[in-house]
Amino acid sequence: MRQARGILFVLVAAAAMIAGAYAQENPYREDGWAKLPDGRKWGWTSAIDIDRDGNLWVFERCGANSCAGSNLAPVVKLSPSGGFLKSFGAGMFAFPHGIHIDRAGNVWVTDADGKDGKGHQVVKFSAEGKVLLTLGKAGVAGDGPDTFNRPSDVLTAPSGDIFVADGHGGDSNARIVKFSKDGKFIKTWGRKGTDRGEFDTPHALVMDSRGRLFVGDRGNSRIQIFDQEGNFLEEWRQFGRPSGLFIDRNDTLYVADHQSNAKLNLGFKRGIRINPERGRRRSGRCDGQRLLGRNLRDDGEEIRQEVIGDCQVRVTTGASSTEGSGFASTRISSTGGSSGSSVSVSVATTACARNPPDWCRHSLS
């Protein structure tokens, strides 16, 4: 799939706004944010996450849509203001995809393809770039307890257990693999299909405060929810085709959909979906759901703004904002690309300000 280049950011502001919810055109755009050194250009930015210090970690595809044959370092650390801090991982990856910063600040990434003896792996780095753990065999695709086939995402639970979303469509795997905190295989569940507990491109993982595992089953246009033993709990189909998931500390769910259209997923549009209504999550209904970025283009010219109660939510491409001390940012990465393609988004992070308004306080339970 051809994908749009750049990084997409959503800015959530706890600012005094008029009550109610509406959408309007927002021409905001800031070029030149988050520059790389020595004139290096951003490639397809497959995923991002934020550490406890507010630093932004980006896993990008070496200035292109692949790191095969490149000597660039795809794991990039930026300051909260967008300043380049460091990069590492040069020569290690074929197709950078998922990234996760654990509670200790370690950096986990997935390599979702194989070429030249690289790929099909999950790698854990220290924040300084030291390799601490690898799962899978470099360049070897498989479905055993020690191999992957195009792993899309990785997540660690509070216990330290590791969950890998193994598969990226086509003839790759379609399963969730669980390991102990030291990398020992525990179990796997799922296969290619449309039934409960089956997957078609398990693209994203996230966990709520109750320890439930949310899987963005993108090819089946749904989110599936499991306990940590792989027991199916429920599915939600109102969030489009989930490429990225994020749940904030208040259990607010954010879902990024960059694929839906009239042909692929009738009735849904590309955008970022959240549910500002309290008390509607037990059944997974989204009567109060907001869709952000309905009409995003790869040139960033069509940008929408939502005002929900006292929260202002802006969506734009290639930019961040430094407006006002009341802002806390939720950054969502786009997968990069070329002209004629739509903006895609994958991973959301920090959601509301320290004292969020009521719509940010609802519980997923």
Most confident of 11-20, 194-203, 306-315: 194-203
Nearest to 242 by CA among 215, 274, 280: 215
Nearest to 252 by CA among 105, 353, 162, 108: 353
Burial of 275 (0-12, 13-18, 19+ CB in 10 A): buried
User: Could you give the CA distance from residue 235 to residue 338 in angstroms, rounded to a whole number?
Assistant: 34
Q: Which of the pair, 309 or 71, is modelled with greater confidence?
A: 71
Strand, coil or helix: 281: coil
Q: What percent of the chain has pLDDT over 70?
A: 67
CATH code reported for the domain at 43-296? 2.120.10.30
pLDDT 10s digits, 11-26: 332 222 222 222 334 4
Residue 178, pLDDT above cutoff 50: yes
Residue 302, pLDDT above cutoff 90: no
Q: Which of the pair, 45 or 212, is modelled with greater confidence?
A: 212
Q: How far is CA 131 from CA 91, 122, 125, in A?
A: 13, 11, 5
Residue 168, pLDDT above cutoff 90: yes
Q: How far is CA 213 from CA 7, 135, 225, in A?
A: 26, 20, 6
State the pLDDT at residue 298.
Answer: 34
State the pLDDT at residue 250.
Answer: 86
Residue 214 forms beta bridges with which residues?
206, 225
User: Could you give the CA distance from residue 236 to residue 289 in angstroms, rounded to a whole number?
Assistant: 13
Query: What are the helix and strand counts (H, E) for the chain?
Result: 0, 25
pLDDT 10s digits, 324-349: 222 222 333 333 332 222 222 322 22
Question: Of 26-35, 239-248, 290-299, which range is least confident?
Answer: 290-299
- Hey, what are 195's tokens? 């039934």
Mean pLDDT across the chain: 75
State the pLDDT at residue 11.
Answer: 30
Which residues, 6 or more positions from 288, have their beta carbon under 8 angstroms from its beta carbon? 275, 276, 277, 280, 359
User: Could you give the CA distance from residue 52 to residue 350 in angstroms, rounded to a whole number?
Assistant: 10
Identity at 165, one-letter amino acid code = A
User: Could you give the CA distance from residue 31 to residue 100 in angstroms, rounded to a whole number?
Assistant: 27
Strand, coil or helix: 171: coil
Q: What does the pLDDT average to over 279-287?
A: 38
User: Could you give the CA distance from residue 362 to residue 365 in angstroms, rounded to a whole number?
Assistant: 9
Residue 206, pLDDT above cutoff 60: yes
- Hey, what are 194's tokens? 């449309």
Q: How far is CA 335 from CA 2, 58, 191, in A?
A: 9, 11, 26
Global pTM?
A: 0.75
Could you state, in order of their start, the residue ranges of all structural domains in the chain? 43-296
Q: How far is CA 93 from CA 117, 155, 156, in A?
A: 9, 19, 21
User: Could you give the CA distance from residue 1 to residue 37 in angstroms, rounded to a whole number?
Assistant: 28
Nearest to 319 by CA among 97, 30, 6, 82: 30
User: Could you give the CA distance from residue 137 to residue 150 in angstroms, rounded to a whole number?
Assistant: 12
Residues 108-127 as b or e (16 or more Cβ within 10 Å = b): bbbbbbbbeebbbbbbbbeb
